Chain A
Amino acid sequence: MQVIINGEPHQVTGPLSLAQAVALLTSSQSGLAAAVNGDVVRRAAWNSTTLSDGDEVEVLTAVQGG
């Protein structure tokens, strides 16, 4: 299946949790938030959230700004 993570398509075989999708981007553990198809997913639910084909995942962090 294919999931879009921060705008980039990723081909994956087998089930992928949101926690695993985040880990594809960064090893950082703090200061992160994730949304699937626009809905924010609480961190406590990252492991239990299984992605489906075509899901769009956004992973955000704080950067310099404002």
Chain B
Amino acid sequence: MDDPLQIAGETFSSRLIMGTGGAPSLDVLDRALLASGTELTTVAMRRVAPSSAGSVFDLLTERGIRVLPNTAGCFTAAEAVRVARLAREALGTSWVKLEVIADERTLLPDPVELLTAAEQLVTDNFVVLPYTSDDPVLARRLEQIGCAAVMPLGSPIGSGLGIRNQHNIELIVESASVPVILDAGIGTASDAAIAMELGCAAVLLATSVTRARSPELMAESMRLAVTAGRLAFLAGRVPRRRYALASSPPAGR
């Protein structure tokens, strides 16, 4: 069925956004990206290394995958804004996955710096996709200041702990009028399916695929899980019941 994802007026037929971190090689990454069916994929911005063999940007360009630079590793709004501007210059896109983290141990977003950076970048005409905590109030504030989506975490980056507070994700989905993208914490396919069943518009994941025993196989499972979860959401699950409801007719026994 035709059910595209729309972010800031752009249309994507895949609801799986991939990250590129953690893949053992560009070749493995390439096969995983193809298997995932993704059309939007994140990269980080780092100092040019003298002996850079093959570029992830060239790979994405070659595959026709839209690049989404992130501000990973930034601890302050000022740093994140600077990296976003560099990324716009380097990659020719005003889209940014805004990440402002509080500390190395948890990599949790710093809500105050995040909001400050988001405001500045929106003013500077960026399409801002903020990586945020699963706080419904912060998600609402990010939407109010003009972010093109909100991207709450399921659990800490790379933890594979899945969605620790499904209720909060539901609350965010309920009140958001921009796409809600579950970002971070996905461990396996069922986590991605649950995110979509909760009503998320898309899922962003990296580690669960790139560090799987077979990244290509896991990428395919994520593609299917996101599709399955989305269809289940659209179909509408039956209510949970305390007792049984016979599925065979009671009459004529």
Contact = CB atoms under 8 A, between A and B. Distances in A.
Interface of A: 6-7, 25-26, 28, 30-35, 38, 40, 42-43, 58-66
Contacts of B70: 65-66
Contacts of A59: 47-48
A40 B86 contact: yes
A56 to B, nearest CB: 12
Contacts of B69: 62
A19 to B, nearest CB: 14
Interface string B89-117: 11100000101000000000000000000
B52 interface: yes
Contact of B48 (A42, A60, A64, A65): A60
Interface residues of B, number: 37
B224 interface: no
Interface of B: 19-23, 26, 29, 42-48, 50, 52, 55-58, 67-70, 72, 82-83, 85-91, 97, 99, 206
A7 B172 CA distance: 42
B52 A62 contact: no
A64 B23 contact: yes
Given A6-B48, A66-B43, 11 more contacts: A7-B47, A30-B55, A30-B57, A58-B86, A60-B87, A61-B47, A62-B69, A62-B87, A64-B43, A66-B44, A66-B68
B48 to A, nearest CB: 5
A60 B89 CA distance: 10
A41 to B, nearest CB: 8
A42 B89 contact: yes
A32 B91 CA distance: 7
Contact of A60 (B23, B26, B68, B90): B90
B46 A63 contact: yes
B47 A60 contact: yes
Contacts of B52: 26, 28, 61
A64 B56 contact: yes
**Chain A to chain B: the 8 pairs with minimum beta-carbon distance, closest first:** A65-B44, A66-B42, A33-B90, A33-B89, A33-B86, A62-B43, A66-B70, A66-B19
A32 B92 CA distance: 10
Contacts of A6: 47-48
Contacts of B87: 33, 60, 62
